[in-house]
């Protein structure tokens, strides 16, 4: 049995889709169980803020796909997984976590180290930023103002479509030979936000521009939108990492693991154009 945590999130739902399309029987952990789950999916309650839901979700599980928004709950989940007899953990991490050059990398590397010391088999998936973030965090200003706001400047980011992460995760979760490996995952091209704006302008048929702001302005906007200050600071640090070129290198891992090229941003934009209209 494979348990997918965070099954309703940006990445988790793509892992569920990819596995269910291949006919794999899985258990999907949800804070709130959705209606009309696909055939073959066992939906269970799994809420990190309710520790009593963790142990039942792990019962009979051999492989755990581990992800969380803040990383903090992961150590206790790993400990419970070991007690429950889980054999292997596939963790969603972040690009170059082992180098610990930015806040999210430090958070995730601490979790990776805990997994490595647990005695369980492990594989780490380390993606760069998600293309879906242009929807999750920028759709409002793109729709209302025709604008993308960021402090990254003119440095390219090799963002990845979460559908590619789902495809990679499905392959790793259902095949051998991945234990003890970490895969850096990117999209096919590093695009600047000016280039992202150009693609959106073409796809949407309306002007979209990139507006450069300072890191302080970026933090103020994040906090103003309800982001806790510590997390906003981590986001600012991530933007600084991007501005240093920390996510500009393109990795071949998606094609090596799935047999196909990663999805380009223009295809992603066309597939999701309704989100910005």
Residue 35's pLDDT band, with cuts at 50, 70 and 90, is: low
- pLDDT over 90 (residue 271): yes
**pLDDT tens per residue across span 94-138:** 999 999 999 999 999 999 999 999 999 999 999 999 999 999 999
**pLDDT tens per residue across span 1-20:** 999 999 989 999 999 999 98
Residue with tokens 């804070």: 31
Intra-chain end-to-end CA distance of the chain, in Å: 41
pLDDT at 214: 97
**pLDDT tens per residue across span 132-169:** 999 999 999 999 999 999 999 999 999 999 999 999 99
* Residue 218 CB partners (closer than 8 Å, separation 6+): 149, 150, 151, 235, 236, 239
For residue 49, count other CB atoms closer than 10 A to its CB: 7
Structure tokens at 133: 């973030």
Q: Residue 212 is inside which H or E element, if any?
A: strand 209-212
Residue 61's pLDDT band, with cuts at 50, 70 and 90, is: very high
Of the candidates 234, 250, 251, which has an alpha carbon nearest to the alpha carbon of residue 101? 234
Domains of the chain, first to last = 2-126+162-184+250-261 (3.40.50.720)
pTM as predicted:
0.95
Contact between 8 and 47 under an 8 Å Cβ cutoff? The reply is: no
For residue 178, count other CB atoms closer than 10 A to its CB: 20
Of the candidates 235, 156, 242, which has an alpha carbon nearest to the alpha carbon of residue 198? 156
The overall average pLDDT reported for the chain is: 95
| Helix and strand element counts for the chain (H, E) | 12, 9
Report phi then psi at 132, rounded to 5.
Answer: -60, -20
More confident residue, 64 or 34: 64
H-only helix segments in 146-250: 162-174, 193-204, 215-224, 229-243
38-52, 141-155, 173-187, 244-258: least confident range: 38-52
């Amino acid at each position: 049995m494979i348990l997918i945590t965070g099954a309703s999130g940006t990445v988790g739902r793509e892992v569920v889709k990819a596995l269910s399309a291949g006919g794999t029987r899985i258990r999907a952990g949800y804070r709130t169980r959705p209606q009309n789950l696909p055939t073959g999916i066992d939906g269970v309650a799994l809420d990190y803020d309710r520790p009593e839901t963790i142990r039942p979700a792990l019962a009979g599980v051999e492989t755990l796909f581990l992800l969380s928004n803040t990383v903090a709950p992961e150590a206790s989940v790993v400990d419970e997984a070991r007690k429950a007899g889980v054999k292997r953990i596939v963790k969603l991490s972040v690009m170059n976590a082992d180098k610990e050059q930015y806040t999210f990398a430090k958070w995730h590397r601490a979790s990776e180290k805990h997994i490595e010391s647990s005695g369980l088999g492990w594989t780490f998936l380390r993606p760069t930023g998600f293309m879906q973030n242009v929807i999750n965090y920028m759709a409002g200003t793109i729709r209302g103002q025709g604008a993308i706001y960021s402090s990254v400047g003119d440095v390219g980011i090799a963002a990845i479509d979460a559908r590619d992460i789902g495809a990679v995760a499905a392959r790793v979760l259902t095949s051998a030979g991945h234990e003890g490996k970490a895969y850096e995952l990117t999209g096919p091209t590093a695009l600047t936000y000016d280039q992202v704006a150009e693609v959106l302008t073409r796809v949407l048929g309306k002007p979209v521009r990139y507006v450069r702001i300072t890191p302080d302005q970026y933090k103020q906007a994040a906090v103003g939108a309800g982001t806790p200050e510590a997390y906003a600071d981590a986001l600012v640090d991530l933007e600084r990492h991007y501005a240093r070129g920390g996510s500009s290198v393109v990795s071949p891992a998606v094609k090596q693991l799935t047999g196909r090229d990663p999805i380009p941003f223009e295809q992603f934009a066309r597939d999701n154009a309704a989100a910005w209209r």
